[in-house]
């Protein structure tokens, strides 16, 4: 995973605590204002997702790479 240190919230214990913004459905159902999906189609358009920790072996930031104890290593990078 790669992310700027400024986007990491070290006060959270896990990804389930991260609020995920839903973006407008028209970003998925329209192109240049023209519909490309059937009217009334159900759409979810989250602005990002949360990758389960078991799939992450390192977090790369502009201040260095964190491995293992992310809370400790990211706190040191953010200091």
Task: Let me know if residue 26 belongs to a domain.
Answer: yes
pLDDT of residue 53: 84
Task: Let me know if residue 9 belongs to a domain.
Answer: no
Residue 64: pLDDT over 90: yes
pTM: 0.68
Task: Let me know if residue 41 belongs to a domain.
Answer: yes
Residue with tokens 């790669």: 2
Task: Let me know if residue 3 belongs to a domain.
Answer: no
* Cα(19)–Cα(17) distance, integer angstroms: 6
For 21-58, the pLDDT digits (tens) are: 999 999 999 999 999 999 999 999 999 999 888 899 99
* Cα(14)–Cα(76) distance, integer angstroms: 18
pLDDT of residue 68: 85
Q: How many domains does the chain have?
A: 1
Residues 6+ apart with CB under 8 A from 37: 28, 29, 30, 43
pLDDT of residue 47: 94
């Amino acid at each position: 995973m790669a992310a700027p240190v400024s986007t990491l919230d070290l006060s959270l214990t896990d990804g389930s605590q991260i609020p995920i913004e839903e973006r407008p459905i028209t970003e998925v159902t329209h192109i240049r204002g023209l519909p490309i999906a059937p009217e009334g189609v159900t759409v979810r358009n989250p602005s990002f997702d949360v990758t389960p920790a078991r799939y992450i072996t390192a977090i790369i930031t502009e201040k260095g790479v964190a491995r293992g104890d992310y809370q400790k290593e990211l706190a040191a990078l953010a200091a």
